[in-house]
Structure 1
Amino acid sequence: MQSIPVPQASTSESGSRPKSRTESKPIIVYLHGGGADRHEVNPFIKKLGEEEFLYISLTCREGAFKAMHIPMETQVKACAKEILKKLKEHYPMFTEQQLQTLPIHIIGNSQGGVVACLLGANHKNKLNIKKIICFHSCLSGMDLMSNDGADIRTFFNKSREVFGHTTQWQDKFKIYAMTKILFGTSKIANFLFPAISNLHYLEDVKNFLRDSTHHIPILIVAGVVDLMERIDPGIVNPNRNQVHNLVKEYAKIITKKEGTAEQKDRAHDTMLSLKNQLGRTDSYDSLVECIPENDPNFLTACLSVYPENVKLYIADKEFHLLNDDNILIPSRCILNHTTLSENTVETIRSFLLQPS
């Protein structure tokens, strides 16, 4: 990647322009997922390299309350403001106008990917956004949130067959599910959880991803996990048919699709359906027809939906969260938890290094 073209800052009394040691580093702005914090960027720093990039991780959306309660438009404005503030800390000699010309690359995980797209759609006049990477992001909503009480009960019955008595993780999920059932469809949801219940902003995300005029390169990274390969056989009932039924019901909870768990339309990363992550809706063709058998990672057949500046990649066997604390499927029930595999890291790195 080329060094950052540094704008001319004001000169010092000696006539020379002060230099920042970070001038030559590409700038990555990291937007964490809903309910996370600034430290979520650490796996990216570890894998991509601490010395190669200048990382900026924001704090204005930290915590579940802010991510769910603060309207998305307000979150996006706060992020744009904090980005300039963080840039000022690294480049104190620059004016605000000069800071706005610094090229930045935005990586957004989960809800952060939605924020990244909205920054690109509504704040590109104040931020010089060179590239956007959406990682496991709910670009067309969250099918999980459309479950009702019957769906939850069916899932619990199937899970009880496999895991036996109710466990702590089931209690956590039940609290989550009941919160959704009681509040998610009620009139007070727009007050309590406007950022995740009033999804009108997804229309702006859709339009941004399909707009070829802004020319911002975008990489959409979607995760897919086969839970039949992940559930630890040592702690469950050895009846594989029961395990298969549980995986099937879990896929239905996440994707709201009937059928077998192996169908691509029912693929998910344990939190979001593949369809949600790719920004697709039911109006588009089946994902089964979209994924080429000879190259299952790159969804070239899906690109007819998007302009040439949008690239899609499936991160196989990678979970939604960047840590083990998944509210739906506990880490103790999963083997070989994988996030940010070498293939995914190289895909992201290659995308970042490509000339804009």
Structure 2
Amino acid sequence: MLRVAVSDLRGFVDALMSAAGVDGAEAEVLSDNLLWNDLAGRANHGVERLPILLRRVKAGLIRTPAQMNLQEISPSAALLDADHGFGQVAGTRATDRAVELARATGVGAVGVQRSNFFGTGAYYINRAAEAGMISLVLSNSFPKVAAEGGYKPVLGTNPFGFGAPGRDGRSLIVDMSTAGLAGSTVRAYQRNGLDLPEGLVVDDRGRPVTDPNEAMKGTLLPASGAKGFGLALMVEVLSGVLTGAGISSQVASMYKDFERQGNSGHFIVALDVSRWMPLESFFERMDVLADMVACSGPAGSVRFPGEARWNAMAENRDRGISLEAKTSTGLRELAAGFGIDVPWQGSGPAV
């Protein structure tokens, strides 16, 4: 693993986006999002994604600058037309507006249409938590997951995110795919040459698949059978059907479909904790809950969701962000195409 200082990686990413013609204000938002995920240990949603995002920009499939339009539906609800811009930019704008609405009315809900892949829900959950908000963050995606009892792809991995403010900024973060595993996890197994557990992927005849190379051509199964499928439907209804975004096959694959724009949808809800109780009282009650959870098993074996993210954040800020060889190579190749120097060129494994 190569470790790169956060400031070096940020400057490098900014230079790449500028060279690719990304709008300056949008580049700042996108860079914040990608690096936050790398810092939090979610490398598969960090700068690893920059080459494919810029490839879609070049192909005209992601617009920058996008002419996003916010339509106010009610005092507590709004709809954002993302104009096929960066999903990370749309997700950030939608989250910030949901927080503003919640601040005014107690609860804010913002739907997003005509968007693209937006990264992890965790980033937006934490953004809302920093504003003292409990949040729900949903997004649909291109079909890769079967219905319960089926074997043809009909829904996306449709991530479901929930979070709440935590003391010292260590928010509660629940962020998961409603499939048995995420597509990015399949790619990680593929890179590492590992077989998948049985019961997660099937082929076009419904037979189990464990080879990750074959799994990329197969269909994922919903998490926990009918329960995961039900959650995936909830995500599809709120982020796809209700918002006017693409539904199921109307959403394009970021990696495989270069004939059309993403057309995905998001749905974000923020709830202002201070309307219910002082934030400090909420922290105290959350501390009680966290202690109960921690004491439910052997010491150190049970963690509150989000703890691993905050531990990774502290380590990566101190030691630098880890880049896998494939990610480093992809960024080097991208930089070479733009004639941009790589800040860690010739460096060793340390910062």
TM norm structure 1: 0.24
Q: TM-score, normalised by structure 2?
A: 0.24
Give the greater-gyration-radius structure (CA).
1
Q: Which has the higher strand share?
A: 2
Larger RCO: Structure 1 or Structure 2 (Cα < 8 Å, ≥ 6 residues apart)? 2
